[in-house]
Amino acid sequence: MTQNSDDLCAMQELSAARDLGAPGASRAGHSEDFNAGLMVLRPSEERFQELLALAPRVASHSGGIQPLLRAGFPDWSRLDHYRDNVNAHMFQHQRGSWRLERIRSIHFTGPVKPCFTEAEDSAQQPFDEPFRVWHRIRMGGGEVAQSSMDPRDLGASLLPGGAEGAWRAWFPPPPASILSLGFGLGEQELHT
């Protein structure tokens, strides 16, 4: 996410962006389907049970869940694919359509994800290059569209504690929650 997305909570279920995929990839009729990279859902035990019952009847060539979700939500509302769930490949292949100030969420497809790279790997790339944007946000740069940060001052934007400090500031573990064991506590805290 590069910008606040609170308004998505008011969208109807299921809202998602079209599955545009990587340029040159076979779409095999999927260009009118949604991509599960960003979806608006309502938590529902009933819907969950419906998906579980449907799962044995839906094939997935990749083993992924997207075919099941498409079968379970045949009627869906379109999000703007130039704003929400924008495929990072657009930066390279449709540069004229890449408007970072408009993009609310970037979808990283393919085997290489920004979390497996170092910020220095993209430091010489343009300021709006998707991996560089991801690292800037991870390092505490805040909302990209609202940012006035100079790219040369990337290191100065770090919160105390670096990226880990920024993560904990944005996503603190819930107090007295079992979730903190899986999502909030790091190795140091588990051993103290």
Average pLDDT over all residues of the chain: 75
**pLDDT value at 60 more than 50:** yes
pLDDT of 32 over the 60 cut: yes
Q: How far apart are CA 107 and CA 101, in angstroms?
A: 16
Summarize the confidence of residues 37-64 as an average pLDDT.
91
Cα separation, 3 vs 43, in Å, equals 23
Decide: residue 192, CB within 10 A, 0-12 exposed, 13-18 middle, 19+ buried.
Answer: exposed
- Whole-number percent of the chain with pLDDT over 90: 21
Closest to 23 measured CA to CA, from 125, 96, 94, 98: 94
Most confident segment among 24-38, 43-57, 96-110, 159-173 = 43-57
Structure tokens at 59: 């094939």
* CA atoms within 13 Å, Cβ hemisphere of 188: 1
DSSP string, 36-91: EEEEE----HHHHHHHHHHGGG---SSS-SHHHHHHH--S-EEP-TTTSSEETHHH
pLDDT for 168: 53
Q: Which of 39, 163, 38, 59 has its CA nearest to residue 109?
A: 38
Q: Contact 163/138 with Cβ under 8 angstroms? A: yes
* Distance of alpha carbon 47 from alpha carbon 29, whole angstroms: 26
Query: Does a cis peptide bond (omega within 30 degrees of 0) precede residue 14?
Result: yes
pLDDT number for residue 184: 39
Query: 161 vs 97, which has greater pLDDT?
Result: 97
pTM above 0.75, yes or no: no
Q: Which of 98, 69, 65 is nearest to 81 (CA)?
A: 98
Model pLDDT, residue 73: 95
Q: Residue 75 above 90 pLDDT? A: yes
